[in-house]
Amino acid sequence: MNKEEIYTLINNNPAFFLATIDGEMPRVRGMLLYKADAQGIIFHTGSMKNVYKQIQKSPNAELCFVDVKNNIQVRISGKLEIISDNTLKDEIANHPGRAFVKAWKENGSLEDFYQTFVVLKMSDGKAKFWTMETNFDTGEEIQL
């Protein structure tokens, strides 16, 4: 797999798992991708969530995307960056696939939308992929 194939796979399979560090324990939860390209992998959360607090303490994380149809798993490790761009937050809130975010913004369920809605980006991640056929291989690392 090359970079473009990885971006295509993860954009086509936007539900993913995010692993963070909480003290000495790993924490994993499902997340929803906003978009991924050469600029980075972008998703979001809320500042009241434990995942945000964990990322503030340690930006090291791993993302795991699964293409069930083709039996491919892609794991991407790197550092997460908090993006404070209100224009990007508005773009996400106005995206047709993010009606739930627009509702948070418009109905006031997030007290201060621009402070509470947190956009995260992983740039320069290192990806590894597996298939059932290559399950026991060490896996090639691809710099994104």
Predicted confidence (pLDDT) per residue in 15-62, tens digit:
999 999 999 999 999 999 999 999 999 999 999 999 999 999 999 999
Predicted confidence (pLDDT) per residue in 77-105, tens digit:
999 999 999 999 999 999 999 999 999 88
pTM of the predicted structure, to 2 decimals: 0.92
Per-residue pLDDT at 11 = 98
Assigned superfamily of 3-82+121-143 = Electron Transport, Fmn-binding Protein; Chain A (2.30.110.10)
87: its two tokens: 């224009």
Per-residue pLDDT at 40 = 97
Using the predicted structure, report yes or no on whether residue 138 has a pLDDT greater than 80.
no
Per-residue pLDDT at 95 = 96
Beta strands in 8-123 (DSSP E): 15-22, 25-37, 40-46, 60-67, 72-83, 117-122
Predicted confidence (pLDDT) per residue in 2-15, tens digit:
999 999 999 999 99
Distance CA 120, CA 118 (A): 6
Using the predicted structure, report yes or no on whether residue 134 has a pLDDT greater than 90.
no
SS3 state at 116: helix
Per-residue pLDDT at 119 = 98
Calculate the alpha carbon distances from 143 to 3, 74, 128 in Å. 8, 13, 9
Per-residue pLDDT at 80 = 98
Per-residue pLDDT at 139 = 76
Using the predicted structure, report yes or no on whether residue 131 has a pLDDT greater than 90.
no
Distance CA 127, CA 100 (A): 30
Per-residue pLDDT at 55 = 98
**Type of residue at 62:** E
